Every structure is written in C-alpha cells, then in structure tokens.
Structure 1
Amino acid sequence: MIKKSIIFFVIVFVSFFIYQKKFKNTNLEIWDLVPAKSVMIIEINDPLDKWNKFSSSVNEDQFRDFRKLIDKNISELNSFLNDKLNILVDNNNLIVSVSKTSKEDFDLLFTSNSKNLDFQYVLKKAKDSLSFDITTRDFNDEKIYDFSDGTNFFSVVVLNNFISVSKNTLLIEDVIRTSQNKNLSFKNINEDLFNQVMVQNDFGNIFLNFSELSNSFENHKYLFDQLPKSTFFDLNLNENNFYLSGFSNISEEYESSVKIEDNQMMRILPNNTVVFNNSIKTNQKNEKYEVGRLSFLSNYSNVTNKIIIFKKTDNSIIELIKNEVDEKDKINKIKNDSIYPMLRDLEYDHKNLYVFEEEKYLFISSEYNSLKEYIESKNNGDYWRKDLNFSKFLSILNRNQNKNILINFKEFLKNYPLISNTFSKEVDMLSIQLSDVNNKYYTTLNFNSNSTEYDQVNNNILSFNADNNLILKPHIFLSHVNNLPQVIINDENNFVYHLDNKLKEIWRDSIDSEIISEIFTIDYYNNRKKQILFATKNKVYCYDRLGNILPGFPINNPHPSGYIEDINVIDYDNSKRYRISISSENKAFLIDKYGKNLKGWDPLIMEDRIIQAPKHFRLNGKDYILISLENGKVYLKNRRGFDYDGFPVKLDNNISEEIYIDLSQNFRNSNLIALDNLGITYFVGLDGKIKKQNQIFRRSRNSNFKMLIDPRKRSYHILSVDENVIYNNEKTMNFKNNRDYDYQFYNFGDGDSFTIITDPINKKSYTFDTNFNTKFKNISNQNRISILKSKGVYSLYTTFNNTISVIEIKN
C-alpha cells in the first residue's frame, strides 16, 4: 500500500512538473530570453524596413563600410532562407544582444519570433543546400542545434515561438538558463527602464548596461562611475549626426546635482584631446564647483597627459599654498592637503601635485610636463574647437546638463584594440550627457561618422610628392657639384627618385623591387664625381647624378637560388677599386665593381645565417673583414677569407644586432662591441679575446635589446625595450612599445645625442635624449628619419604617405 502511494505521488509530481514547464514555455515573452549580463541590447520592430530607412536617411559617405557589411549579411541570410527573409521579419520583433564571453571576445545573440519561420525547412536547407553538419544536444531539458560547415559555426535554440541564434554556444545555454529563471533576465532586473515613455517611430531602442560595460574599459573605469548602471535609448538621426536619448533606471546611488550652465570648459580643450568629462561637485563646505577631467596625447612621447580642471568661483573654494616652480608659466607645487580629498572623489589620487592658474580655471596634474604641454597648446591656440568637424559636433550638444563626457573615439579605441570593429572604426566623436529629471537621469548619446576624415601633414619648409606611398628612409648625400644635400627616395611601386636640395626632382627610374640596403656613394671613375649604389633583393644598381645607369649594372644576385639580404662597399686603400660584399642566408660573396666573383668569396659558406654583409675596416695598414652569425659566432677575416688568429669567437647567446667597430690608434685598444639577444654586451679585442662583458638590466624575460649605431659610425647607444618601458643607464621611461617600431640614434657631438622611435602604423616619430628628455615635438612620419645639422639648425627629412618633407628646427 505504501509502495503504491509513493508511485502515485511520483506520477502526480512529474505530471505537475511537465505541466508547469509546458505552461511556463507557452507564457514566455521575447524579453524572457535576454540575459541580464548583456552589455548592449538593440530592439527593432520590423527590422528590414527600419534598416532600409536608416540607410536611406544617411548621406553616402557616412558609415560606408559598416553599411556594406550589414547589406552583405542581409543578402546572405536572405539566400539561406530561399528569399523568404521578408516573411520572417515583416511586423516582427528582433532583439540583438552583445555579451562579453571572454577576456578578449564579445559575441552577438539574435532572438526573434519564429511563428513565420518553418524551422524544419531551415534544417533541411542548411543540410542539403549549404552542406552544414547539424548535431543536437540537450541542455536543461531543451534541445540545442549546432550548425557547422568546417569554417562557420553557430548554435540555435527554439523556445515556444522564439528562436535564438549565436556563433557562441555558451550564449545559447544562457538563453535557456534565462528562460527558466527570471532573475537572470535583463528586463526583470531593469524593470524601471521598460516603464519609460519610448518613441514609437524611431529606428529602434538600445539598452546599455554600463555596469557590465565598464569591465571592458579598465583604463577608464572612472568614466563609467559617472554613469547610471543601465539606460535605455531611442535611436534617431539629426543633421547627419546620430543621437540616442532616453532615461536611466532609478538608482539608490542617484544624487541630484546642480546643472552646468554652459559648455565653456569644452572650448579650452587641446586639439589632441582623447577623453574629457565634467560635472558640478560639492566640497566639505557645501560649496558648488565645476570640475573637469582631461586626457590628451603628449606631443613629445606616446603617453597620455591627465589634468584636472577646476572652474574658479567667487567663493574661492580651493585654497592653494604655492611654491613657484616656473616664473614664466606660473606652475606651482600644491602643499595644501585639503585638495586631496576632493581629488580622491574624482578617482585622481596622487601625492605630488602641480597647479597652473589662469583667469577662469585652475589646472592640476601629478605631472609637471602635462601642465607644460597644456600651456604650450594654449599659447599656440591649438584648441579642439578650431577643428571644423568638432566645432559642428560641439554645436549640437545639449546645455544645462549635470554631467558631460566627450570622447575622441578613434584615439580612445587605441587603448582597446580588441574592441575595434567595422562600426567603431567609422565613429569619430562620441558624447554622453546626463540631466536629472524627476530623480532619474535623462541621457543623450551623440556620435558622428569619420568617413570624410583626411590626414594632415606637418607644415614644412620643403616637400615633394611622389606618385606612390614612400617606403624608404630618405638617404642624404652631398653633391660633388655644389656640396649641397641631395636625396634618394623609393616608393611602393619600385620607383627610385633623385631630388636636389630644394626637393626638386632630378631624375627617376623604375627598378625590379624595393631597395633593401643602405645607399652608398662611390667614385666609380676616380674623377671626383659621385655615383649612388644600392641593392634590391635581386640586383645591385649604380647610377650617375643624371640618372644614367653605369656600364655592367645592374649586377644580378650571385646567389641565384636566394635573395640579397644586405650589401657593403669596400675600398681597401682608397684606390677606388671597389669591392661589393653581399650576404644571402649563410653565404657571403665578394665581387669587384664589374660584377666578377673574387677568389675565396664565391661564395664563402658559413654555418648559420649572416647578420649583415661582410664589413671592412683598416687599422695600421692591415685589412679586416667582419662577419657575424645569428648563432653568436664572430669572424674576423683577411682579404682572401681566411680567419685571423683567435677567431671565430663564440658568444654565449644568439645575436641579431649589428656589431659596433670601435677603432683606436692601435691594435690593443681597438674592440668589436657585440650585443646578444639576452642583453649581454661583449668587448672583443682584435686578437679574439673577450676583454669584458656586461649584463644590461633585464626587466623581464621578454626584454628586447637594441644596438643603435650613429649613421657616421662614431658612437653607439644601447636600449632595453619592454612592452611598456624603455630602459637605459639606470633610467627608465614609460613608453608603449611595439616590436615593429624603428629605432635610430644620432650623435652630433658635444653631448648632442638622441634616440628616435618611429611608429610606422600610427605614423609618428618620438625623440629623446640619453636622459629620456624630449628632444623635438612629435613628428608625423612613417619611415626612418634622416637628419642634418648645420649652424645650430637641424634639418629633419621625413616621409608621410607619398610626401617627403624637410622640417627645420633651431637648437
């Protein structure tokens, strides 16, 4: 009897559970499937019609690439559905949610009503026509369909009359969990947002979950602390600028504040601003004051300057005790501790603070140089408002707001490359403004397109435009006619140009491929007239000053199965009977100026790859030829290719940097200075003995070491390069490094030496002296720089796209 009773109750319980589950599923709404952890949600009714209206409302250039991408996806989806896409989406609701699924990834989840969709037809179409493999699996008593064709993968679940699709199966599992637990749904947690008045005929509704979104912007968390936890927006278009507007949810942390009367503080922002935000605050004396926080790019390095701006008021809320630091610029060090609590409230907690005071504002920073750079921009009138696009954008912003956030989106996203996508790349500026209305924030988000953006080059004294993008450092030599500078450049379509001292074209010629070597000047005929000689990966070229190629040139690569990697020119005793040394993989060649292979070098086969072409030097009437290999072996040979006594020398580790030849008056005091890949410097005598070795400070196992040799070969400089730091002689500098940066070193004597770091992607060059003080203002430039100095004036030869320019800077 007891056993029967137990069975009865089990049957009743299971029946009730099945009924409840079925009843729950039949009462599902589309928002019951949207996870609470979504960072952004887009809700669109009749999405295809709205997209067509959106596309026709913008001008041709706005979000061009983004619209092409969406149109392509729509076309592919329509083809997949056998031209039935309009049937699915007409008068239907689509919700697209974005979720962070790992430290580096965001994924999309699409949810829509499936009542118009024959899912069995979709399965058959995917399997038969599109060759998808379809598998099913159960998760929390629901069936998940996984589609894969070897390249593409996406998961699908159908719950009641709704279908959810994502390329990340974890999000489909989230949908199922959310459908079974309302505490996991975005709408349930943010119910207040759905009680607001929503515009019916806009392009759609967007919900932003700022509390979740802040986890993806760790360097700017202070911005999200200014924002409500979540906000809904209506999407609209006004005068080619897009704006989102709507209300936030009611927050316990909400604090009504005084509104900013105008946007005057935005008018003093420098033109290299990245982020700015301002609001009205209250101090301990209950005095109101406007405060802004500014981040702007340095003109002298690739760091970002940070400044707090206080608007001065009649009640003098900030009492500062000043100790003059710079009489000219009026920068003072703050010694009054009362300012620190105010700054901590702004999440700007620093011990050493400096202040610059002007008529309306106080500018405070923990870095003296940040204020110096702001003052420089101010004195030069380099304000952001002078940019036409920004000026137009500024004019559409609301006044009388409680909080403003302004973002130079293109520069901002450089801090977060993983977030970059087709849409974000086309956004130029973005603003977020909050105004309190009935204990809630009315939030407006504006953004515009940068499709019409163009690059600007420095104002220069001289310039020349090649036909194509320039890919070579400008090579400078002095003319034998008038001793004035001449320039050789190379473009991406393999044209070589010879320019005079005014950057006027003398001649141009087409070569087989790009120049891979240094450009040498020789006196081929021994008549005190100069010719230029260089190599591509296949040939060695030599031209006279009128652009005529010399007899016997170009000389073909003596290693027919490989490529030329480097060349050097050798003139043993200044007799003008030149030899050309060539390296190709592990082979060294020596040819005369007529292209004939020389005995002992036809080729000289080494055991590992050669770092640079064999290099010649002469000491006390004796000729030496230096060869260094990647495996750390260093050879010193005579003219016939035989080793000198004591060589080769085997260093402890592999090498990849050029060896510096330090010649003295005699054999004993002359050295070869080598740097291995682990940061050990070796001083090797010409007798093959290692005199000493030094370990450069190695900050991490990924430290990268650079041996930088001055173009005149008179000195060298060593750097240790990490991801975020450059180190030299017990001095460090914060600098965001990239392995593809170009590093150069110039030494003009009398302590005038400096390093140049060029970022070819962002097309900027930065200059620092050996103490890491900035030498010149940041330069728009994409290849290595060439520099001349005469009478205290530096002439910098720079390249930007297809333009070579000369910038003159007084010492």
Structure 2
Amino acid sequence: MKRFAVFLTILTFIACSKKQEDNYNLAKHIPADTEAIVVTNDFSELLQHIKSNNFLADSEFGLKTKLINQLSYLSNFNFKTETGLSISNLDSKTLVYTITTKKDSGFIQLDSIQNKSVESIQEDGATFKRMNIENSKFFLFETENATIISNSKTKILDIANNRNSLNSNTFKSAYDAADPNKTSIFLNQAALKKMTSIFEKFSFPGFKDFSEWIVLDLDLKKDKLKANGISVHGKQKNFLTNFNGVSPREIEVSKVCPEDFISFYSFSFSSFKDLQKNSKDSIQKSYPNILDNSREAAIIKLKDGELFILNAIESETAKANLAGFGTEIETYRGIPIYEMEKPGVFNSIFSDLILLNENRFYGIIDHFIVFSSDTELIKKTIADHQNSNTIAGKSYYEEIASSLSSESSVLLVSRLPEFYTSIENNSKSSKLKFKKNSLAAFQMIAEDNFTHLHGIFSNSEEQKGSSNGAKQSASFKLEAPVATRAYFFKNHETDQRDILVQDENNTLYLISNKGTIFWKKELDSQISGPIHEVDLFKNGNKQIAFSTGYHLEVLDRNGNTVKPFPIKFNEPLTQPLSVFDYDNNRTYRFVLTQNKRVYMLGPKGKSIKGFDFENAKSNIVKAPKHIRLGTKDYILIAEESGRLNILSRQGSIRVPVNENFKYSENEWYGNDGNFITTEPDSNLITVTQSGAVSRKNLNLADNHRLKANDDLLVYLNENELSIKGKIVSLDFGLYTDPQIFSIGRKTYVSITDLQAQKVFVYDSNAELLSGFPVFGTSEVDISNADLDSRQELIVKGDDNEILLYKL
C-alpha cells in the first residue's frame, strides 16, 4: 500500500552508531511475524528526525502520524545502546510494535513523569508491567540483559516464554551482513508484498515474490539518503533468481527518457537466452530475433501513457531483425513509425519480469526501439531526444546516478513530485512536499545467492540545470512544405513577435507565436534573400519589405500592400533586396540589383537623387551592403571581375581599392575597423579604410563559411567552428552558414547540421547554450517573441513544420 511505501522514507532519518558486543542479543527477541525491523544505536534521535526533518515536517501522511502518535511517549526514555524496533500489521490502522534495548537502570525515571500509571501483572508464568504514560498504553518486560516494550501483550508473553520468535537462517544471513556502524532496515517478503501496488506503478512485478529478507544500511546526508545492502534469496525461486548467471550491464534508457517522465523501470541482460533459462516456465517460449540483439528492456511512465523500450546492441542489425515486424504508417522528423503485425508479442515473453500493455506501434531512435500504444507518445519521445530534452546529461540525474554502480541488473528511478501525484489518485490522506527535481533510485545487482541493493533518495534544495535550457514550446503546420527560413516580425499591437514564412506554393504566412494564422498571401514567386522589417511611417507600426523575381514588395502587418508598392521591374532582379538605414532614423533606402545596374529607391518608391553609382563594370555578384565603421558610412559593391567598389552615400568612390579579388561565397563585413571577407584559397582579406589590402592564411577548406560583426569573427572550417578565436569541434555533417544575433548585451552564434537535423546555439565565448542541440532543418531566427525575459528561436522542422523553442 502507498502509505507503507513511505515507510522507507521515514526510516531514512536515523543516526548511525556502533553495535555493542556483549551478552545482550537483540535478535533473540524478534517476534516471528515481524515484517520490518529497524536496528539503531540512537533510537531517540530516530524519533527526533521523524518529528523535525525538513521534508517530514512539511509533509503529511498517515504512517508518519501513526508512528509519532504511538511512539511519542518514548521521548521519556533514555536509549543508550543498540535498539531494535520490530513492526507487524503494517497495513492496519494500528501498528503492532516491539522494541528491544539493552537493560539499563537509568532507562526510565518514572518520578519525572506526571501523567502515568504502572500496574504489575503476572500471567502465563511471566511478570511484566502494564504502563500508561501520557495516554499511551504499552507493556514492559525485562530479562537479565534486555528491556522489551510492546503494545501487544501477546508479544510480551511470547518473548517471556521463548516462543514464536523469529528463527530464520535467511534473516540471520541478512543480520550478519548489516554494517554494525550504521542504522539498518530489514524487510521480509510479507512487507515487500505490501509494496507491490506501489511498484506496479513502475510496471515492476518483483515485490510479489522478491526475496525472503533484505537489509539496507543507511547513510544520511543533509538532503539525501543513501541505502546499501543485500537481499538474501533463500531456497525458493523468486524474482531475483531470474538474473542468476546473467551479467549486469549499463542501463542506458535515460538517453531516450523524456525529462518530464514520472518513473522508469529497466533491467539488463548480457544474453536473453540466459535470462530465459531462469524463467518459471518449464517450456521455453519462442521469441523475436531482436531480443538476441538487445541488452536492456525498460518501461517509461509518462503523464499521458507509457513506453516500452528495447536497447539494441547495434542499430543496423536491429533494423534488419525488425524487417517484417510491422508496417510503416507515417514518418515523423525523418523517423518511420510502424504498426506491429502482432501487438503484444512481448507480453508473455517478459511476463516474469515486466508488466506490459499491448504496444501496437514502434519507432527506432538510434539503437533504441520505442514501443507504445499511442503514436503521439512515440513522436514526443523522438522530439525530446532530438531536442536533448532527456534526463541523460541533466545534472540532477547525473548526481543521483553517480551514487550508484555503473552496471545494474535492475534499476528503478522516479521523479518524486510527479510519481507521488500519480499514486495519490487525488487522495487527501497524504501531502508530500518535494522539490522540483527530487529523484529516488533503487538499483539491484544480482549474484548467485544474493543481490546487492543500492538506493538513493534526493530532495536537494537547489538543482542545477533544471528547466532553463532550450525547450520546444510550440510547432505550427503549413499547407505545403516550407520554402524559406522563418522570420520574427514585431506585432505593435501586442508588443510581441509573430512569425513570417513562405511555403513552396509561394504562399506567405503571418502566424502568431501561439500558432494562430493571421493571414496567407500568395506571391508571384519565391522571396529572394531575407525579409526586412521597416517602419515607413515612423509611428511604430511595422511593415515587411522583400524582393521576389521581378518585384519589390512592402506589406503591412495585415498583409495589405503599402502604396506605392509593389515596384515591378521588366527584367529579373539578380540579387536580393538590401535595405539601408544610415542613421537609424527610419529613412530607408531600398537597394536592388539587375546584373551591372543598381537601383536605390526611397520610402515612397522613388529613385534617390544624388546617388550617382548606377552601373558597375561587370555583373554584381553580391547584394550591395551598407557598413558603418565608427562615424563613417560605406556602401560595398562587389563585381564579378573581382573589383570592389567602396562608395560614399552619394555613390562616389570613398575608398579606392587597387586590387581585384577572387571572391568566395562569403559577404563583406565590417570588423575591428576594417572590411573583411575571404578568398576561396583560404585567405582572410582585410581592407583598411584607406584602401590598404592584407591577407592572412587561415588554412580554410574551399567550402568554409564566414560571418562577422564589429567585434566578433566567426567561421566554419569543415567540422570546426571558430568563435572569436575559440575552436569548437563539431561532428562531420552538412552545415548551414553560421548566424550571429546580437540582442541587448548578449550575442548568439547559431549553426544547423542539416544532415543530423540538429541546431546548435553558442554564446560569444563559444559555450553551447543549455538544452542544445535541438531538432531543426534550416537556418534560424532568434528574438524575444513574447512578454517574458527569455529569447525564442524559430526553425524549420519537418517539411511543412515550423518549430518554436524557448532558450
């Protein structure tokens, strides 16, 4: 029962001391029907911890109240040595307890107690006392060496007459294995069975037939408890004997376990054939080949259902083993989802080890096969894995895992707030208060005759890496595949940012950051280059400006064309639109290119008088660019011939450059007071404001990419990303150009691996932001899109999907 499950938590708050070696023998006075025993050398401190521990003091549950009420009178007693508390009837309204401690003349001073009564009784050949202290009734019996206290007269008489005492070689083995320097908890099979309903919430059946006795030695820390011990199997077959001769392995399910999990239960096996040999069934069942290529099976409990996980040794072999196992019904983020031909095929195979639902669907994530009865849970797991939103790598999980052995036969982990909420079933009997990332873990490592047990309960005050990392907050579907990168666009009505994106049908969408489609507008062709945000009327109401094949378009936030736009050209525009705002005063210049010709238009669509540069000597190969260095404005126009024109606002040559360049695909940038770009042969070109040219060999590959601003230089060279001189080694992949976002005092550098479909975001010190990489298949945009202080990121997901992340 759930109130008994808390029993272990209560018993964690016990001080440690040393057992005494003399004629006093606590084990001789344990009743035969005892279900749980606590042995401690500081019983008074045990009671004090139950009353005053921070967690217990803030939490309310029936067993705590019951123990305090029944044992509160013991604060009047002077416990000086090893004491045992034996308990039976754990699931009843009133506990039956027996306390054994060493006889001491100073154990109780009745004169100092006001509310008391003492009556001597002789019965069944025994002399003992019936006592009432502070309205608590109990019996007290003394032997030559021991004092026995119980709320059951039957227990007193049995002990006095040396009958019905615990006589178990298995218990003796457990008792001898206990650490004499620590408080120990002993639980027998009857007690463990009463925990079955709780642990079935993990889909763990083991406590129905777990072990004759287990012992746990406790190590109390400020905000955590560690428990280490053994289970003694005895002669009868039980759950743990399933693992005889099966070597434990590393449990890896955390790599696909979503961070918002409730619990997981996992068991490992070096060989599934060896595991099956230990089955209770005399007839061995046939099983799918995938199990010979697996090393772990697990159940993950989530708020909306559960997942069954098989951890395959090698992913390609696993895929081959699963050929014909199911029919592909859809693809999500590049991962096929299948419907099984024979749902529930694993249920009977694992009947001794795990409680399974009928899982109809599955998908393969790396070397994990994820089964569920709900495809949405498989999609969630895929998304969380791709977004690094699993518990693997989270500091609070690593902290608890570091206290356990690296290899397990069985591992159970629960997120305590969510787990207790799930088992309460809206019951008001318990009010347990856990901190956000509190975890409990219980590990079993099987040997031939016994099993090592390791447990940890963590309720730390502060947890690192909680929920401040990047997390997906929304996804939006378009009617056709996404054709352009998505852009944030200021909504002057809400002071938030909406999303602009175009699909392959040339339809432009404006979508709120909550997913509402404000409007759709069909354009004549694809948008070329970036979408620019402008404020033509200087009143805070923003418009968007962009170019298509033949048009310069300006639309208001309702999707309406702003007059006199669009501007139509008879010949195609050969470079994307550039927008200049020299003095940041919203006096915009729209700059467009047709081969050698440059057009500069004002906010009303008219040509700017006084801009004299109209024709280059050869075709213009990059969109004209405005760069401000200090207080000076420069317009850079690069030609196919290698000529670089550095112009004034009026279009005259402002900086004469006497060299021609072999241009790479990178633009010109202003950096550290100079103009910079690269040549295909890996040279970094620097042009000063006086026109002096220098080159620096950076040993870059032909396909390198460069981005820069006034004080930050970023380049990608094969799989190395350099940010301000600091090198980040990436996996080899197919990467987008790096992007730089300066927002307030922070600078972000983003890059996307299109092959692995991962988005990386770094700060200006080349440190990867928490929660990255995340899933994405395009360049990104970053801005504060809502009213909180955290930034948002938008990126293409699946073909017709836009994803919104919160950084």
Q: Is TM > 0.5 for Structure 1 vs Structure 2?
A: no
- With CA pairs under 8 Å and 6+ residues apart, which has the higher RCO, 1 or 2? 2
Q: Which has the larger radius of gyration?
A: 2
Q: TM-score range by the shorter chain?
A: 0.3 to 0.5
Normalising by structure 1, we get a TM-score of: 0.43
Normalising by structure 2, we get a TM-score of: 0.43
